[in-house]
């Protein structure tokens, strides 16, 4: 993995789009095409065997192909030339049938689909690992009460289990979209020069069917050289999924702030330190997921911008795609791996969560008191009374319940025991547990 990509992906995801796997995916297309055409008796079986024997990426000079591809406008042209030369050295007659009836974009598009299939499997495993940890943590913290926070300010309490369940369900929905997009994108590209496979005559469809079978891909109704919606759906779904991962990362990183100190991603072994401040415990994994969440939306927009491709074969649009798709998928992989690591070893300080509620002096329960008083006073009057009570609580550094105990309009309605119980966080959780379970059990 290149140093410049150190904070942009992981070695595993980088390896999927590395030079040799990319060349091998392109060569796999050429070998599969030859076998398919031999099966339909378009080319001799001996030629297909020779092409398959020569289609080994390790035997090709990736740097040379890259340099030549820059001048040719596609890697396919120099790769096909190099493959033809290798076949010719062993089977001169067979060399005539390399790349028979195909066009450059057939190779590059199908190769990308083959690489995406590998990425799909890896993402699925990492997602499953993350979801398993989140479900476990949500159940573990079903009764762990903490401050809700709205507009970054303390609000009425929630449970940490509910917060985690929110992450879980958003990521499940995101994965369902992404999984479906990957599934729909697993189609072969094979159209020849103008998308009609005219060079193969009446054997065009049989060859296409055989090719799809060889590669274990679906055969679309027609070639899709300038219809980029399937890949666009993958890219967009990656954007949404990565955004949900970044939301989780944002929450955890805020909970790690020294002034909050309620939950922490794993540390140690060189993680989260500072080059100057030994006391630091930085949210490293969250930073990586947030970086991915920052980077991916622009890449998604770039891909969508390139969808308006000209006629039957575009100029520039599909040439721009490969790098964009690879970066999107690699960034998504980094984000899910990072947050899976966080979820697997998330440290939670339940006592600090309780203390942070106490430090509000009960003002976060003003809504609860307002609702109870509003039954007698009306909502507007109760709201005004509680605003004044909260101001006194803050100004006098007193608990809200103590302030309320000295207001006759309150004591005339609520008994002293009920006033003192107003700031019990577990008594004001509403349907938190119901919602938590619904989030974990949701199927949408």
Assign 190 to helix, strand or coil.
coil
Return the bridge partners of 154, or none. Answer: 149
Of the candidates 86, 313, 361, 436, the residue annotated as catalytic is 313
DSSP secondary structure string for all residues of 120-134: HHHHHHHHHHHHHHH
274 counts as catalytic: yes
Residue 115 tokens read as 């690489």
- Rounded to whole angstroms, the Cα distance separating 138 from 248 reads 13
H/E stretch holding 24: helix 19-39
- Rounded to whole angstroms, the Cα distance separating 73 from 87 reads 24
CB 197 within 8 A of CB 204: yes
Assign 146 to helix, strand or coil.
strand
Interstrand relation of 347-348 and 263-264 (parallel, antiparallel or unpaired): antiparallel
Q: What share of the chain is helix, strand, coil (3-state, %, to 5)?
A: 70, 5, 30
DSSP secondary structure string for all residues of 49-96: HHHHHH--GGGS-HHHHHHHHHHHTSSHHHHHHHHHHHHHHH-TTGGG
Of the candidates 66, 89, 274, 376, the residue annotated as catalytic is 274
Residues 6 or more apart whose Cβ sits within 8 Å of residue 381: 374
CB 383 within 8 A of CB 399: no
Count how many Cα atoms sit within 13 Å of the Cα of residue 283 in the half-sphere of its side chain: 26
Residues 6 or more apart whose Cβ sits within 8 Å of residue 414: 369, 372, 373, 404
- Rounded to whole angstroms, the Cα distance separating 346 from 214 reads 45
Residues 6 or more apart whose Cβ sits within 8 Å of residue 424: none
CB 285 within 8 A of CB 341: yes
313 counts as catalytic: yes
DSSP secondary structure string for all residues of 205-239: HHHHHHHHHHHT-BPPSS--TT--HHHHHHHHHHH
Q: Which residues are catalytic?
A: 274, 313
């Amino acid at each position: 993995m290149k140093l410049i990509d150190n904070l942009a992906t992981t070695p595993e995801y980088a390896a999927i789009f590395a030079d040799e796997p990319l060349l091998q995916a392109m060569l796999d297309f050429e070998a599969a095409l030859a076998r398919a055409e031999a099966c339909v008796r378009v080319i001799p079986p001996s030629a297909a065997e020779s092409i398959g024997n020569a289609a080994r990426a390790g035997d090709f000079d990736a740097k040379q192909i890259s340099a030549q591809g820059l001048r040719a406008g596609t890697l396919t042209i120099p790769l096909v030339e190099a493959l033809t030369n290798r076949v010719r050295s062993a089977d001169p007659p067979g060399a005539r049938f390399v790349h028979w009836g195909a066009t450059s974009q057939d190779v590059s598009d199908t190769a990308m689909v083959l690489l995406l299939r590998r990425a799909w499997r890896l993402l699925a495993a990492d997602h499953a690992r993350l979801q398993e940890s989140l479900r476990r943590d949500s159940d573990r913290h079903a009764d762990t009460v903490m401050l809700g926070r709205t507009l970054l300010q303390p609000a009425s309490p929630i449970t940490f289990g509910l917060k985690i369940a929110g992450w879980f369900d958003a990521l499940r929905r995101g994965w369902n979209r992404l999984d479906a997009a990957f599934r729909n994108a697993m189609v072969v590209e094979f159209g020849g020069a103008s998308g009609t496979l005219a060079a193969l005559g009446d054997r065009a469809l049989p060859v296409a069917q055989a090719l799809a079978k060889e590669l274990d891909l679906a055969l679309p109704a027609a070639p899709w050289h300038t219809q980029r919606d399937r890949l666009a759906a993958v890219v967009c779904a990656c954007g949404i999924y990565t955004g949900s991962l970044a939301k989780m990362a944002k929450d955890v990183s805020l909970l790690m702030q020294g002034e909050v100190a309620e939950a922490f991603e794993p540390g140690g072994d060189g993680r989260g330190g500072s080059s100057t401040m030994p006391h630091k415990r930085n949210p490293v994994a969250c930073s990586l997921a947030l970086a991915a969440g920052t980077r991916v939306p622009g890449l998604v927009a770039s891909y969508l911008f390139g969808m308006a491709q000209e006629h039957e074969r575009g100029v520039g649009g599909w040439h721009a795609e490969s790098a964009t798709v690879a970066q999107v998928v690699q960034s998504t992989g980094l984000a899910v791996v990072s947050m899976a690591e966080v979820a697997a070893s998330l440290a939670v300080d339940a006592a600090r969560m309780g203390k942070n509620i106490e430090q509000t002096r009960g003002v976060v329960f003003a809504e609860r008191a307002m609702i109870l008083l509003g039954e007698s006073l009306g909502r507007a009057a109760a709201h005004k009374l509680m605003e004044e009570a909260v101001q006194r609580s803050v100004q006098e550094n007193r608990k809200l319940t103590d302030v309320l105990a000295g207001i006759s309009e309150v004591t005339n309605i609520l008994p002293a025991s009920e006033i003192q119980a107003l700031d019990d966080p577990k008594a004001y959780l509403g349907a938190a547990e119901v919602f938590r379970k619904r989030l974990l059990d949701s199927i949408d």
